[in-house]
Amino acid sequence: MAKAPILTPRADDFPRWYQDVLNKAELAENGPVRGTMVIRPYAYALWERMVAEVDARIKAAGADNAYFPLFIPESYLQREAEHVEGFSPELAVVTHGGGKQLEEPVVVRPTSETVIGEYMAKWVQSYRDLPLLLNQWANVVRWELRPRMFLRTSEFLWQEGHTAHVSEEDARVYAERILHDVYEDFMVNVLAIPVLTGRKIPEERFAGATNTLTCEAMMGDGKALQMGTSHELGQNFARAFDIAFSDETGERALAWTTSWGVSTRMMGGLIMAHGDDAGLVVPPRLAATQVVVLVVRDEDGTVTPAAQQMVDELAAVGVRAKLDAHTATAFGRRATNWELKGVPVRIEVGPRDLAEGRVVVVRRDVGEKVPTDLSAVVATVPGLLEDQQSALLAAATARRDSLTVECSTLDEAAEAAAHGFGQIAWDKVGADGIERLGRDAVTVRCLRTPEGGLPASDDAPGTLAIVARSY
């Protein structure tokens, strides 16, 4: 019997599908204040996994975690002209505290370049203090006109790295190292999302940066999502906050700084990159729960212990497994719920299976059901998880590539962006081209060399532009 679909089909209404997934998979809901978001436990567990994986890579890149305050003196923001101009429209400003009007308003951090710059200036005296490599996990606030859960909320969680270096070259190399070794590596190998790394055009640069590098991913509707950025800040913040040091020759010099971040926006990317009409699809390496062992029914009380034993054995070989023995709820509903939540592998165990010495193993991505001998399950699951991990990346890559069109005119590029990405020679775009594409809500997502590398400048010869509609 045909049931009404649980989720609005993606092809019918993608934004509605996204909302449905958030609700039905119990990921998040709106907070009481416009633009704020409550992250529910299942989604927060995924975020914690992202944090763990990204944090490990940041530490491997040599940065140390620290924490800087939520409140920033308004005057700090004003020290860097472009920075304050860029962020003013979206600042939350506290004017009262302790029942009195404050002498100087404090802003709730939209990002922490300014406070951290102030302290870097204190901590950096000598070239021997450099590079100074800091990171913090924090919440930030940017008042949003048009919030969308996870993608653009007024308050979001992120990681912001801030570094200071002796030379422009060192800063550039480090910003690129973060882009590739931390962000791209995490997104490709853990999130199974193929990202295009590239250089932002000046209009899309971070306020106060001299160069912004980005990871751009394609979502299920063909639109682009900026999943992470790494900025070269030149000496702009060093000058504003006097981050200066004595070099080897005793000369006083200004440091070169970088900053870089990824946020809870990645949750939105995860949902929209892999999700299907049955719900979320979580790549196994990310999944907080990789396997759910589902007791179909258990009249005589023998099935649940067998299932629990399987969970224990899976845990013993390093698989994050969970037992679902809530047999008061019908089997079909529970199966559907785990699919909504995107758990990579479901193992169904019922009395019939035990009698036959096997279980049914179901893969979330393709829905394939494989009867498997009880004795072989624990040994096959890790390989199954890895297969699914690579299948997700392969599928996402194939889809992106098939929706990426090489174009030779702006009209072709705009047409390509109606469905996916357009690739066009950057020198064919220019200011007029940006205006032309903008009429179709298409923007330049990033610039790349023909080999997929990072262009050394905004106008390097041969540079290609990736254009798309974007979130």
Partner RNA sequence: CGGGACGUGGCGCAGUCUGGCAGCGCACCGGCUUUGGGAGCCGGGGGUCGAGAGUUCAAAUCUCUCCGUCCCGACCA
Cα–Cα dist 279/357, whole Å: 31
Q: How far is the CB of 213 from RNA (least distance, A)?
A: 11
In Å, how far from its chain's centre is CA 443?
20
In sign, the C-alpha dihedral spanning 428, 434, 435, 441 is positive
Q: How far is the CB of 246 from RNA (least distance, A)?
A: 33
Taking CA atoms, 363 is separated from 85, 272, 289, 359, in Å, by 50, 19, 13, 13
Q: Pick between residue 245 and residue 260 the one whose CB is nearest to RNA.
A: 260
Taking CA atoms, 392 is separated from 54, 219, 281, 396, in Å, by 20, 13, 9, 6
SS3 163: strand
Token output for 329:
């709820």
Token output for 193:
């999302």
SS3 190: coil
Q: How many residues are given for the chain? A: 471
Q: Pick between residue 121 and residue 240 the one whose CB is nearest to RNA.
A: 240
Q: How far is the CB of 226 from RNA (least distance, A)?
A: 4
Token output for 453:
């590398």
Q: How far is the CB of 55 from RNA (least distance, A)?
A: 17
Q: Pick between residue 146 and residue 252 the one whose CB is nearest to RNA.
A: 146
Cα–Cα dist 377/371, whole Å: 10
Q: Pick between residue 396 and residue 417 the one whose CB is nearest to RNA.
A: 417
Q: How far is the CB of 54 from RNA (least distance, A)?
A: 13
Q: Pick between residue 19 and residue 167 the one whose CB is nearest to RNA.
A: 19
Q: How far is the CB of 122 from RNA (least distance, A)?
A: 26
Q: How far is the CB of 262 from RNA (least distance, A)?
A: 7
Phi and psi at residue 6, to the nearest 5°: -70, -40
SS3 394: helix
Q: Pick between residue 124 and residue 226 the one whose CB is nearest to RNA.
A: 226
Q: Pick between residue 106 and residue 362 the one whose CB is nearest to RNA.
A: 362
Q: How far is the CB of 413 from RNA (least distance, A)?
A: 15
Q: Pick between residue 149 and residue 166 the one whose CB is nearest to RNA.
A: 149
Residue with tokens 């054995």: 313
Q: How far is the CB of 338 from RNA (least distance, A)?
A: 8
Token output for 320:
């994050």
Q: How far is the CB of 184 from RNA (least distance, A)?
A: 13
Q: How far is the CB of 446 from RNA (least distance, A)?
A: 12
Q: Pick between residue 158 and residue 245 the one whose CB is nearest to RNA.
A: 158
Cα–Cα dist 158/150, whole Å: 11
Residue with tokens 């900053």: 259
Contacts of 26 (CB under 8 A, 6+ apart): 40, 41, 42, 43, 341
Token output for 173:
């190399």
Query: Which of 144, 112, 125 lies closest to 208 in space, CA to CA?
Result: 112
Q: Pick between residue 166 and residue 270 the one whose CB is nearest to RNA.
A: 270
Phi and psi at residue 15, to the nearest 5°: -60, -35
Q: Pick between residue 79 and residue 363 the one whose CB is nearest to RNA.
A: 363
The DSSP string of 195-263 is -EEEE--GGGS-TT-SEEEEEEEE-TTS-EEEEEEEEE-TTHHHHHHT-EEE-TTS-EEE-EEEEEEEE
